[in-house]
Structure formats: structure tokens, C-alpha cells
Amino acid sequence: MPKVKGEKRAKDEDLFKVVDSTIDARTNYNLYLVSRELHIEEILGAISSGKEAKVYPARGEDGKWYALKIYYTSTATSKRAFMKYTLGDPRFKDIKITNTRQFIATWARKEFKNLKILFEAGVRVPQPYLVYENVLAMEFIGEDGFRAPLLKELPNDEITEDLYNEILSQIVTMVNKARIVHGDLSEFNIMVYNNLPYIIDVSQAIIIDNSNDQQILDLLKRDIENINSFFRERGINVISTEEILKRLELNSN
């Protein structure tokens, strides 16, 4: 990421005029660096707000839209999630965390890495572009700054067996090709765009590794049961968890 010197501040004020005023100065600077790298002209107000981050739509000079995910720099929820999911991940086993900003930056890098692996394996996720400290830039799922609806927001007539089967197909690709388990999959973190599901919020996702087989299986069962419960309640005939598990290759050897 290039260093910034002597830039005009007027343009910066236009860029961030609708960004949450509670964002701290360092995060604001991180946003500025990311915006320079991606040639972003405008950042709009948050389109989603979770326990660990907010997501903002951003428009580039060429009209391309990005989603900027900004992780809170001080939250007990993020720290608990980090301890549960990241310290058990072999990719981060040797990491040394000495302050809050470091573990938030690591949490952001973990989501970036997970998105990259999933995207390259053919899972339908937002394409990741870059991550800098607590700011993750990725593909915007939607049109002109308006995000696509979450699965939970769809009207009942759009919740179909075809959509259910497509989500199952994404789970199979996640496990068998990307070798990743989402760990928190539900109607709250699947977006539907052009009748196709997109998996989002993968910061807690973990890679399949034989050293944590039981955790993997427990998380995977919960993911499947969450999806089955949602569709079953809306009149869709679902496949049993046991049958779905037979499609999955959990052993990494």
C-alpha cells in the first residue's frame, strides 16, 4: 500500500461525507489508502451493520461498485470470535497478538484469505480485492449501491427448491474443493442476486484439518441444519443432514 503525502483534503471530505462519523481517525486514514488504491470516488452510508463490522458501498472512478467492510477496532464480540475460530486455525497458529488492533487486522486478513480460497475454488462469494488493517475491499453484490437481499429477506414465492439445491451445491463446493467450512451459515449470511445465492461473512470460516475433526463436523452439521430449517419452514422438501453429509469429503487425507 503506497504512502500518502501532500494530498488535497477537499476531495477527501467529499469522499467520506456520508461515512459513519464514529469511525476513528486511523480507520479513516485506512479507508483513504484503500480508496486511492482502487480509485474510489465516493463512499455511501452503511448497508449492513453486524456484531463485528459494518459494510459500506463505494463507487470507483469507472463506475464500478465495491463493498468496503470495516471491522470495529474495539469490540469484545470480535475478540471472542477471534479466540474461538482463528487461534484454532493452523494458518494462524504461530501468530503473536499483543493489542486489539493486531487481532482485528488478523481477523480481517483471515476473511480475505477465506474469500480468496473460496472464490478461486468456484464458490459464489464476493471477489476479494485487498485488505488493509481493518478495511476489507471486495466485490459489491447488488446494483448501483443497493445491495442484493439476504435469503431471509426474500418473499416466500422466491424461496424455491431450486434455490435450496443451489445452496447445497455451494456447501459441497466449499467443503470438497475449497476445503473450508463456513461455521455460521444461515439465512442471515446468504445474499440472493439474479436468483443465485452468494455466501458472505466468512471471517469465522475454518479450513478442514484432521486435527479438529469434531469441531469441523459440529460446525458443518449446524450449517446444514440451519439451511434445512429455513427451507423446511417455508414448505420446501429438504434432504436430511445425514444424506447431505454423505456428499461431503471431510477427511483431508
Among residues of the chain, what percentage have pLDDT more than 70?
79
What are residue 192's DSSP bridge partners? 197
What is the predicted pLDDT for the residue at 75? 58
176 and 121, same structural domain?
no
Decide if 58 is inside a domain. Answer: yes
CATH label of the domain that carries residue 127: 3.30.200.20
Is-contact 132 30, C-beta < 8 A? Answer: yes
Q: Does the annotation mark 62 as catalytic?
A: no
Q: What angle do CA 230, 162, 240 make, to 5 degrees?
A: 50
223 noted as active-site residue = no
Q: In this structure, are 60 and 182 located in the same domain?
A: no
The larger pLDDT score, comparing residue 169 to residue 103, is at 169
Are the C-beta atoms of residues 253 and 208 closer than 8 Å to each other?
Answer: no
Domain-embedded: residue 250: no
Question: Same domain, yes or no, for 90 and 24?
Answer: yes
User: Are 216 and 208 contacting, i.e. CB atoms less than 8 angstroms apart?
Assistant: yes
pTM for the complete prediction? Answer: 0.86
User: Which CATH number covers residue 157?
Assistant: 1.10.510.10
Residues 156 and 103 in one domain: no
pLDDT tens, residue by residue, 12-43: 555 655 556 557 888 889 999 999 999 999 99
Q: Please tell me whether residue 163 adopts helix, strand or coil conformation.
A: helix
How many CB atoms are closer than 10 A to CB 72?
A: 20
Domain count, the chain: 2
Its sign, for the CA torsion 112, 113, 119, 123, is negative
Same domain, 113 and 205: no
Q: Do 227 and 196 lie in a common domain?
A: yes
Residues 141 and 157 in one domain: no
pLDDT in tens, 107-142: 899 999 999 999 999 999 999 999 999 999 999 999
Let me know whether 49 and 114 are in one domain: yes
* Active-site position among 12, 14, 157, 201: 201
pLDDT tens for 177-190 read 999 999 999 999 99
Residue 99 burial (CB < 10 Å; 0-12/13-18/19+)? exposed
Residue 79's domain spans which residues?
10-146
**What is the chain's mean pLDDT, rounded?**
86
Candidate list 62, 184, 218, 223, residue with the active-site label: 184
On whether both 61 and 181 belong to a single domain, the answer is no
